[in-house]
Amino acid sequence: MKFANTTFRRAAVSAAAVMAAAFSLSAQSEDFNTGKYMEIQSMILRTLESQYVDTLQLDGLLHKGINAMLSGLDPYTVFIPEENEDDLDLMTTATYGGVGALIQKTPQGYIIIAEPYENSAAVKAGLHPGDTVVAIEGVDTRELTADQCSGRMRGRPGTELNMTIVRGRGGDTAEVSLTRERIHVSDVVYYGFLDDSTGYIQIGGFTVDGSKDVRRAFEALKADGRMSRLVLDLRGNGGGLMNEAVNIVSLFVPQGTLVVSAKGKHPASDFQYNTETPPVDTLIPLMVMVNSASASSSEIVAGALQDMDRAVIAGMRTYGKGLVQTIRPVGYGTSLKLTTAKYYTPSGRCVQAIDYSHRNEDGSVGYVPDSLKKEFRTRLGRTVYDGGGITPDIEVEPQTYSRPIISLIYSNILSDYAIRYYNTHDSIASPGEFFLSDGEYADFVKFAAQKEFDVRTEARIEMEGVIEAAEREGLCDNLEGLVEEMEELLDRISLTKEEFLLANKPVVKALLEDEIVLKFYLRCGGAESALRHDRQIARALELWDGNMPGECGKKPAGGQ
């Protein structure tokens, strides 16, 4: 028996040695291959530099090579060159040095101030929507692209910027000197009441100290005394800093609650975030609004509150980004934003789309068959699933817009008319009470009808496609009568710009009112105005009885 055990031990040691040797050889083989291809790449570059027939920009060539290499990975692993340092700062903190305003090019080639940010250097310097920037530091803006103008406006906080402005109101020319500031875009877009008892906070991102903005908004609503339930709106929120998402969740759950965990290839990438501060309110009923553009940190908040049965999730399934990115310096002022881990909600779900190479047109997670989904349980035992995004408890379709209306929006016609309106009116009613008269809308119709936008409906485009296909395939001669009938039908389903704008007056008028309010009351006012026409949130409120799913109204363990 002793002999047998000794033999077994020798065999085990021998097998272990073989496995260790194989592992060592495998590691050496990987290292060799890596070194081999790095040497080959270096040889190729030296050969190109010395022998290629034309002059090469090696920096550009290397950038293309790096980007091509990373393109085969997930969509979020990207190279950040030294010249994009400001973009990196904005990406991580939502702050930058500059004027603090959105700008757009005019048909004449100048730059106009389209929307100043609240409390920005632009506002302090007296810049208004519709002011034309004709020169920046003496350089005619007609000679610059919009990006070049934006780059010249940005700079180190505390430095001076000089611009020549033609006022939208009055047309006077003025020399404006302002001091660039560290611009911070608040995470809270708007907060207020949807009705007599429903508080509302729209969260636009997750940046440094953004959770403090949310806390202040919540405390202000609570201090009002009317709020008996709260809506957190994360629609369109693409995410940001994970710790800020955890801090927002911590406002509504007991201290020490697990919010999110992550696991990566390297142990240093693993982490677990629990709430570290006492909550503000663990009992107020919550509803979190999400859509297909709610991603990353938005999904952490929605997923955690759903797993804890702390909130009703309403809207549409979220984007499906459950990957953690880390920014690493890689030398010479450059950085690499790379995916280092996947994150998991408290129930163990990973909201990352199983196959992120096949997504919907908007980039959100596509169809996930039931066979690929796994079941998980919330704190109160409800079934939730992984496979991609957070599936709402209350599914509510968003309002959709026709093709011509989308064309109207993206052609800046609404914004252009809103600036014209701003320049001819000293003031308007408050965001919740401003409406255009029928005469003013008729004036807009005349204005828009002279502009270029695609008024063709989906029906017309489909019909045009059928006729074009018939012509390509030589069927028109044989189907002459039918083609004539189809062309007659095409005329019947076509509208002039004026006819379209009048037929769609309720929708277009509402969008135009929101745009005008945005010019007068900036981002906060624009968001408040848009809520008046928000059918999705109105329907979600109808379906929400103010209680949590599962064991409705049950007090969370340790709740206050």
Is the pLDDT at 343 greater than 60? The verdict is yes
Number of domains in the chain: 4
Q: Which of 213, 233, 307, 393 is catalytic?
A: 307
Q: Does residue 527 have a pLDDT over 50?
A: yes
204: left (phi over 0), alpha (psi -120 to 50) or beta: alpha
Same domain, 422 and 485: yes
CATH for 110:
2.30.42.10
**Tokens 């022998």 belong to which residue?**
51
Per the listing, tokens 């027939």 go with 53
Q: Is the pLDDT of residue 85 over 80?
A: no
Residue 369 within a domain: yes
140 and 217 in a common domain? no
Q: Which long-range contacts (CB under 8 A, 24 or more apart) does 107-116 make?
A: 108/142, 109/141, 109/142, 110/134, 110/141, 110/142, 111/141, 111/144, 111/146, 111/149, 112/168, 112/419, 114/415, 114/419, 115/518, 115/519, 115/522, 115/523, 116/522
Provide the CATH number for the domain around residue 358: 3.90.226.10
Distance of alpha carbon 247 from the chain centroid:
20
Which pLDDT score is estimated for 429? 97
Residues 367-385 pLDDT 10s: 677 777 889 999 999 999 8
Catalytic residue among 298, 321, 393, 497: 321
For this structure, is 555 an active site residue? Answer: no
What sign does the CA torsion over 442, 443, 445, 449 have? positive
Is the torsion defined by CA of 184, 187, 190, 193 positive or negative?
negative
Digit-coded pLDDT (tens) for 483-515: 666 667 666 666 789 999 999 999 999 999 999
For β-strands 229-233 and 198-203, DSSP reports them as parallel
Enter the DSSP assignment of 355: -
* DSSP one-letter string for 415-465: HHHHHHHHHT-S----TTT----HHHHHHHHHHHHTS------HHHHHHHH
For residue 64, being part of any structural domain is answered with no
Question: Would you call 362 a catalytic residue per the annotation?
Answer: no
150 labelled catalytic: no
Torsion of CA 340, 322, 237, 184, to 10 degrees: -20
The pLDDT of residue 372 is 75
Collect all residues with Cβ–Cβ distance below 8 Å to 304 and sequence separation of at least 6.
249, 253, 259, 260, 310, 345, 346
524 falls within a domain: yes
DSSP, res 171: -
Pick from 399, 419, 451: which residue ends a domain?
Answer: 399
Residues 335, 415, single domain; the answer is no
Residue in 296, 297, 298, 347 annotated catalytic: 296
pLDDT over 70 percentage in the chain: 84
Its domain, for residue 449, covers: 403-541
